[in-house]
Chain A
Amino acid sequence: MVTVHTLASLLSYAAFLAAFVCGILFLVQERQLKRKTMGVLFHQLPSLEALDRANFVTIGVGFALLSAGLLSGFIEVRLSFGRWWIADSKTCLAIAVWGLYLLLWGMRLRATLRGRRVALLSVLGFGLVLFTLLGASYLVPSLHPYV
């Protein structure tokens, strides 16, 4: 159970990292198109449509993996301590990340939000992911001993 939990959680962070990279590239490309400054990167970057789709897919995958990671974590706690919930900063943060990406993905799916704003949120969202991954171990006390 430990390995499933760790593996799924780490892979979900990797997916969010991919979404973050797509988001950054989208923002760069979008800015160039808006400002009509076709720089060096312009010809190498994929189209906005492709970046937007990749961002959407990676967030979806990351979200599914994070859900699996959280669920396996809860089961693990239940098996070890006999209850579902132990208050821990990292768990709380992970749930916040989960909620954030759910919201983002849902909005993109229902097409109320698109393009630059989704890209921007996926870039900012990754900040929270990083804080969950590293901050919860070093900056705030947590029951999770590893990063």
Chain B
Amino acid sequence: MHIILVGVNHRSAPIELRERLAFRREQLPEAFDRLREEVGLSEAAILSTCNRVEIYAGVPEADGTVARLRRFLSERGGIEPAGLAERVYHYTEPQSVRHLFSVVSGLDSMVLGEGEIVHQVKHAYEWAKHCGATGKVFNVLFQRALNAAKAVRAQTGIGCGRTSIGTVAVALSEKIFGRLAGRTVLLIGIGKIGELTLKRLADRGVRDIRLMNRSPERAAEAAARYRATPLPLERLQEELLEADIVITSTGAPGHLLCRADIEQAMRKRHQRPLCLVDLGVPRNIEPSAGRLDNVYRFDVDDLQGVVEHGHRARQEAVDQSRLIIDHRVERFLSWWREDLERCEPSPSALAAAP
């Protein structure tokens, strides 16, 4: 048997192509049927995420399988085979096995070391198993790959550090307030990063979210998305007394909040700590406000600095991760070789049997 991989990822193909090849969960049983009958696979698994579509194939004979899998993909996506040629990569073992181990460990991800891929691979395996597409070899292959990912994440810094502005803002807020559940967040201005940050905060249990925007319609619209309370900008001074975390992302020139405003608010708040996240460029909050006691101010550059620090740390963990993966791949391959020998006795062994 051979383990062959054919697929596209975020580096090899643009999103327009990936989305045409992607598999939805309910399409999987039919896809596995076709792979078995038309391509002749004995075992299969399909990993389809927003960044990759990969078919892992177990076949008795490798001859022509890659070509058949390529044809399968091009028919499925309704794309001329020529259009796919350069975009689709394929590997046979041991590279195919190593690729799977690297993917599940986050080494092949767009954001190096991200952890979501572990769940995605796990689900891909479980669905394939559920459809009856996996056999002994793939069961072991995927379990070992998932275990390898666990080892890599535990033994290296590949998953450490924050890699987006939103998660950095959340981590810093947690360093100030501890648990974020029960805190009050005020978002002023609606922008992409601001909303992402809000989403991360909501993930951490923040329920009291208040929104302000120059256009009340947009505030109401965004408020509905996050179950937030839309408020008029005129209430800014009063809201400053209640919020724990204030995120600003307006395009307004000049400072929306001056040091004096915040100083006054801090007195009225009895010095309750206040975290200011200023995502605006030019900045919405007077920078010197960060020097006030119990006021913690971060702007885009501060957050970006932490993000880059996280990326560097992950990059440094790559070599160590590869060592672990190589070791694990080697162990899988030797198990597989032994298994093959057990199941397919050599002709001489057969001849020796009575």
A49's nearest neighbour on chain B, judged by CB, is B178
Give the residues in chain B near A48, CB-CB below 8 Å.
175-177, 273
* A18-43, CB < 8 A from B: 29, 33-34, 36, 38, 42
Give the residues in chain B near A49, CB-CB below 8 Å.
176-178, 273
Q: Are B175 and A42 in touch, CB under 8 angstroms?
A: yes
B130 within 8 A of A: no
**Binary interface profile of A, 78-116, with partner B (CB < 8 Å = 1, else 0)?**
000000000000000000000000000000000111111
Give the residues in chain A near B273, CB-CB below 8 Å.
48-49, 114-115
Cα separation A18 to B271 with both chains bound (whole Å): 24
Q: Are A33 and B176 in touch, CB under 8 angstroms?
A: yes
**Binary interface profile of B, 302-333, with partner A (CB < 8 Å = 1, else 0)?**
10011001000000000000000000000000
A117 within 8 A of B: yes
Total residues of chain B contacting the partner, CB 8 A: 20
A113's nearest neighbour on chain B, judged by CB, is B271
Total residues of chain A contacting the partner, CB 8 A: 19
The listed residue (A34, A38, A47, A115) touching B309 by CB distance below 8 A is A38
A46 within 8 A of B: yes
Distance from B316 Cβ to chain A, minimum over Cβ atoms (Å): 15
B61 within 8 A of A: no
Distance from B187 Cβ to chain A, minimum over Cβ atoms (Å): 21
The listed residue (B177, B178, B271, B290) touching A114 by CB distance below 8 A is B271
**Binary interface profile of B, 76-112, with partner A (CB < 8 Å = 1, else 0)?**
0000000000000000000000000000000000000
Q: Are B175 and A112 in touch, CB under 8 angstroms?
A: no
Cα separation A42 to B310 with both chains bound (whole Å): 13
Which A residues form the contact surface with B (CB < 8 A)? 29, 33-34, 36, 38, 42, 45-50, 111-117
**Contacts A112-B270, A113-B271; A47 near B178 (Cβ below 8 A):** yes
Main DSSP-derived SS at the B contact region: helix
Q: Are B270 and A115 in touch, CB under 8 angstroms?
A: no
The listed residue (A33, A50, A112, A116) touching B172 by CB distance below 8 A is A33
Distance from A100 Cβ to chain B, minimum over Cβ atoms (Å): 20
Give the residues in chain B near A29, CB-CB below 8 Å.
175
Q: Which of B41-49, B223-231, B257-265, B292-300 contacts A (4 or more CB under 8 A)?
A: B292-300
B339 within 8 A of A: no
Q: Are B176 and A47 in touch, CB under 8 angstroms?
A: yes
Distance from B268 Cβ to chain A, minimum over Cβ atoms (Å): 11
B174 within 8 A of A: yes
The listed residue (A36, A42, A47, A114) touching B270 by CB distance below 8 A is A114
Cα separation A34 to B178 with both chains bound (whole Å): 17
